[in-house]
Structure formats: C-alpha cells, structure tokens
C-alpha cells in the first residue's frame, strides 16, 4: 500500500517547507539552530497538519540522526525503553532523534521516563502537541526543552504546496493534470491552513479526475468542492481550538460586534456544536447584557429552546436572531460584579447570623431577653419600602451592587433615590 501523498512529498530543504516563516525564515532562530547541527530538545506546539512532523523528519535527515517516531496515543514506557535499547548500533552513531507526537497523552510517569535519557544525552527529544504544552507537558520536560509555536499555514503558502503536489503526481504517474480555474485556490482555502489535509484533497482529486481525449486528466472546480466539503472546520471539542472558538464567540457578542459574533456562530454550528452555542449565548445574555435589558433573558431562552427543538440546520435561524440581538443590545455587567463581590465575602467566611427580623421562626427561646421578630412588612408602608437591616452584622455595611450607566438601571436608581432619600428626610 502506497504511503499518503503528504509522506511521499516530504520537503528536501527548509525552503520547501510551506508556512512557519516566523520560525524558518532567513535569520530566524529555529532555522539557525537547525543549520548549526546542534539540536536541543524541543516541543513543537500547534494545530495538526502544519509541518511539525515534516520538520522533525527533516532535522533528523539533515543531522544524520536515526529518527524514531512514537505516538502518545499508542506508545508507552516500554516503547521508550526499546528505543534506548537500540543505542550503540551502527545506525545510531550520530545519535537518536525521538519524535514523540501527541505528548499530551503521556501521563506524568511516562513523561518522567524520558528525563533520564534526555538528561544524559542518549536521545534528542522533539515532542509535538496540539494542546498548550504549559498545561499538558510535565514541567521537568519543559525546563529542558525549547517550545516553538507552529501556526496554521497561510492560504498563499498552502496553494504553493497544492501546485507542487499536482506537479509531483504528474511526474510520479507520468501523466498530465488539467486544472480548472480556481481549483488550487479552493483547495488551499477549504483546508483551513492544514497542509496535510490539502495534500489528501489533491490526491483524491487526482484519483477522481476524468481522462480527456488528449490523455490528460481534468480536475474540475466542482470536483474539488465535493472532495473538500467541511474540511476547513478545524475543531476538537476537548482541545484548545474549542475554547478559543467559544471564547471568541462570547467576546464578540460582549464587544457588540454582530458580524464577528455571527461568524463564530457559523463556525460552531458547522462543527455541530449546538450545546456550546446555546450555553454561551445564555451566559452572555445574563452576564453581559443583564440589567441593561433584562427582558432579553427570556427572549434568548426562547430562541435557545426553539433551536434545540428543531435541531440543525434550522437551529441556525433562532440562534442567529438571538446572537445579533445580544450583540446589538446595551451592555451591563453590574449583576455579575455584584454577585462576584458577594461570593467573595461568603467564601471569606463572612456568614454571620441572619438578622432576627428575617429569620423564619415566630417564637423566641427562653434565652432571648427581647421577645419578638420585629420584621417590618414593606407592603404596609408608603411606596412599599421601609428601612431595616437585611445583611448580617458582619457585612451590614457591605455594598455589592452599583447601578450601571444605562437607561434601564438609571431609571431604577432615580426611582429608589427619590423614595429612600425622601423617607430619610422625614
């Protein structure tokens, strides 16, 4: 069985590697390190399909090291020891480069096993991960490694790789491919910065193309679209990409940018993540619009209920309505700030006895010298308000809520100032 095109077309020089110019461009630190031949332990961090494995393979070849590949999802401590057991052979004269893909799946004990061998120089470690290494990689490994962040490859760079891939296939298969206008641009755009995915799309297009009368194979734009549909969605519900996307979604609504909010809504829905959309939308309505327009909460709840009832794809309609409404509504986080302050006091242990007038009992023990609950029923007083202590003594002077500078809250402020200040003067 032939290797995938992405493996067969591995670059032979640093300049052949697409993207990562911030790391591999002329004069950049990682390029200088590789050209020096003295390779430190490194962690490559970034999304899949952006050249991490390709670069590790190139480094091993350039420095004549034996390349050993392990994957954190399937390998274990025994596999590491097996790699080390091969040291001293003719093929390891120049050392061993261990490429450990998806290191985040190694537990702490497994990662600790690596320490002995990278400290004594038995192996050079290049670990890769799609998750933030500062959260998932053991500190002792990080302290002995240099972290390099890889980024999604720019569309123009991916398109260069796509053209090169079609040329490679022409030479490999001794045939010609005729590409309709827009084919390479569409593949590079649709694959979302993932070069490996674009290589897979090229190979699928080549295998599916129809032979023409002149013997060439025609790759149509329609065929390219069919074979790359939905492939641009880079999403892992358990990974950093998920949290980045839902964060951008909520922050766009909070920032009152309906265009950005709808865009991130589209990405989440295209990935089928309806629960995250509904949760963040409700949170944003309560947290960020809040008391500036409190009627929005049941409105958004109704939109969320409708979306969950009809399901995708129709769910996009009520959700788009709600997202735009939240984005364009006035904002107030006064309730969020107030509950945050109150929670801080509660967690700090400021939970004194509830004032006697508020307690839910209508009798006094023998030890209480002053009998009676003394609760003042607000509805028995003008304007349905009467001053009395509601907070425990330990926080009786605490002030948690501040009126926001919006029409709704300012109206409430004026209403209560008129009542309370007028009563105080009497």
Average pLDDT, stretch 108-134? Answer: 84
Q: Which residues lie closer than 8 Å to 129 by C-beta, 6 or more apart?
A: 43, 44, 45, 102, 103, 104, 136, 137
For 230, counting Cβ atoms within 10 Å of its Cβ (0-12 exposed, 13-18 middle, 19+ buried), the class is exposed
Number of H helices, E strands in the chain: 19, 8
Q: Read off the pLDDT of each residue in 2-31 and give the average, rounded to a whole number.
A: 84
pLDDT band at 372, cuts 50/70/90? low
The three-class DSSP label of residue 66 is: strand
Percentage of the chain surpassing pLDDT 90?
A: 29
Residue 285 φ/ψ, nearest 5 degrees:
-60, -40
Cis peptide before 182 (omega within 30 of 0): no
pLDDT, one tens digit per residue, over 297-355 is 999 999 999 998 888 888 999 999 999 999 999 999 999 999 999 999 898 888 888 88
Q: Are strands 217-219 and 210-211 parallel, antiparallel or unpaired?
A: antiparallel
- The CATH homologous superfamily for domain 20-149 is P-loop containing nucleotide triphosphate hydrolases (3.40.50.300)
Q: Give the number of residues written for the chain.
A: 426
In the numeric block, which tokens belong to residue 166? 């079609």
- Is the pLDDT assigned to residue 238 strictly greater than 70? no
Q: Does 232 score more than 70 pLDDT? A: no
CATH 3.40.50.2000 fits 155-228, yes or no: no
Q: Bin 49: left if φ > 0, else alpha if -120 < ψ < 50, else beta.
A: left
404-409 average pLDDT score: 91
Q: At the topology level of CATH, where does 354-425 sit? A: post-AAA+ oligomerization domain-like (1.10.3710)
High-pLDDT (> 70) share of the chain, %: 92
DSSP classification of residue 42: E
Q: Are 17 and 58 in contact (CB under 8 A)?
A: yes
Q: Please report the pLDDT score of residue 244 as a whole number.
A: 82
| Sequence ranges of the domains in the chain | 20-149, 155-228, 240-328, 354-425
Given this model, what pLDDT does residue 251 score?
A: 93
pLDDT at 288: 94
Handedness of CA 228, 229, 234, 238 (dihedral sign): negative
User: Does 90 have pLDDT greater than 60?
Assistant: yes
Distance CA 182, CA 222 (A): 10
Residues 77-101 have a mean pLDDT of 80
Range in 197-201, 212-216, 237-241, 395-399 with the lowest mean pLDDT:
237-241
Of residues 148 and 108, which shows the higher confidence score? 148
Residue 386 banded pLDDT, cuts 50, 70, 90 = confident
What was the pLDDT predicted at 91?
Answer: 66
Cis peptide bond N-terminal to 313, omega within 30? yes
pLDDT interval class at 237 (50, 70, 90): low
- Count of CB atoms within 10 A of residue 27's CB? 6
| Predicted local confidence at residue 1, as pLDDT | 46
pLDDT for 363:
57
Mean pLDDT of the chain: 85
- pLDDT in the model for residue 364: 59
Mean pLDDT for the stretch of residues 103-112: 84
Q: Band of the pLDDT at 43, cuts 50, 70, 90?
A: very high
Q: Which residues of 113-135 are buried (b: 16+ CB within 10 A; e: fewer)?
A: bbeebbeeebbbbbbbbbbebee
The SS3 of residue 73 is: coil
More confident residue, 125 or 92: 125
CA atoms within a 13 Å half-sphere pointing along the CA-CB vector of 266: 9
CB-based burial, 388-397: b 16+ in 10 Å, e otherwise: eeebbeebee
pLDDT at 233: 52
**Which of 100, 108, 109 is closest to 42 using CA atoms?**
100
Domain 240-328 top-level CATH class: mainly alpha
User: Pick from 247, 410, 245, 414: which is nearest to 330 by CA?
Assistant: 410
Q: What is the pLDDT of residue 322?
A: 96
Between 372 and 59, the higher pLDDT residue: 59
CB 59 within 8 A of CB 39: yes
Instruction: Give the model's pLDDT for residue 295.
Output: 95
Q: In Å, what is the CA distance from 75 to each residue of 41, 58, 60, 139, 204?
A: 19, 22, 20, 20, 30
Least confident span in 5-19, 160-174, 177-191: 5-19
| CA–CA separation, 29 and 45 (whole Å) | 16
């Amino acid at each position: 069985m032939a290797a995938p095109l992405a493996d067969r077309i591995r670059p032979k020089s640093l300049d052949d590697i697409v993207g990562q110019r911030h790391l591999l461009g002329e004069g950049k630190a990682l390029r200088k390190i590789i050209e020096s031949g003295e390779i430190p332990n490194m962690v490559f961090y970034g999304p899949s399909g952006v050249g991490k494995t390709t670069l590790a393979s190139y480094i091993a070849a350039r420095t004549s090291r034996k390349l050993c590949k392990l994957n954190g999802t399937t390998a274990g401590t025994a596999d590491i020891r097996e790699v080390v057991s091969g040291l001293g052979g003719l093929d390891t004269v120049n050392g061993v480069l261990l490429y450990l893909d998806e290191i985040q799946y190694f537990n702490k004990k497994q990662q600790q096993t690596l320490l002995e061998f990278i400290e004594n120089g038995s192996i050079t470690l290049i670990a890769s991960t799609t998750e933030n290494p500062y959260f998932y990689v053991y500190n002792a490994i990080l302290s002995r490694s240099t972290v390099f962040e890889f980024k999604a490859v720019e569309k123009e760079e991916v398109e260069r790789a796509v053209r090169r891939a079609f040329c490679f296939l022409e030479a490999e298969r001794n045939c010609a491919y005729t590409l309709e206008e827009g084919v390479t641009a569409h593949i590079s755009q649709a694959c979302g910065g993932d070069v490996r995915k674009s290589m897979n799309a090229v190979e699928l297009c080549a295998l599916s193309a129809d032979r023409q009368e002149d013997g060439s194979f025609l790759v149509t734009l329609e065929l390219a679209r069919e074979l790359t549909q939905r492939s641009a969605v880079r999403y892992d519900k358990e990974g950093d990409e998920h949290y980045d996307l839902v964060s951008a979604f909520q922050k766009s609504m909070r920032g009152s940018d309906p265009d950005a909010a709808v865009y991130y809504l589209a990405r989440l829905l295209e990935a089928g993540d309806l629960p995250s959309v509904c949760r963040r939308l409700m949170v944003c309505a309560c947290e960020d619009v809040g008391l500036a327009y409190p009627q929005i909460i049941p409105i958004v709840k109704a939109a969320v209920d409708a979306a969950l009832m009809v399901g995708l794809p129709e769910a996009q309609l009520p959700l788009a309505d709600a997202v735009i409404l939240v984005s364009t509504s006035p904002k107030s986080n006064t309730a969020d700030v107030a509950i945050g302050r109150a929670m801080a006091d509660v967690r700090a242990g400021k939970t004194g006895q509830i004032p006697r007038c508020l307690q839910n009992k209508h009798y006094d023990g023998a030890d209480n010298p002053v009998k009676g609950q003394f609760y003042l029923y607000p509805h028995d007083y003008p304007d349905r308000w009467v001053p009395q202590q509601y907070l425990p003594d330990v926080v009786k002077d605490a002030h948690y809520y501040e009126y926001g500078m919006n029409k709704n809250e300012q109206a409430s402020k004026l209403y209560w100032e008129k009542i309370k200040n007028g009563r105080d003067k009497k």
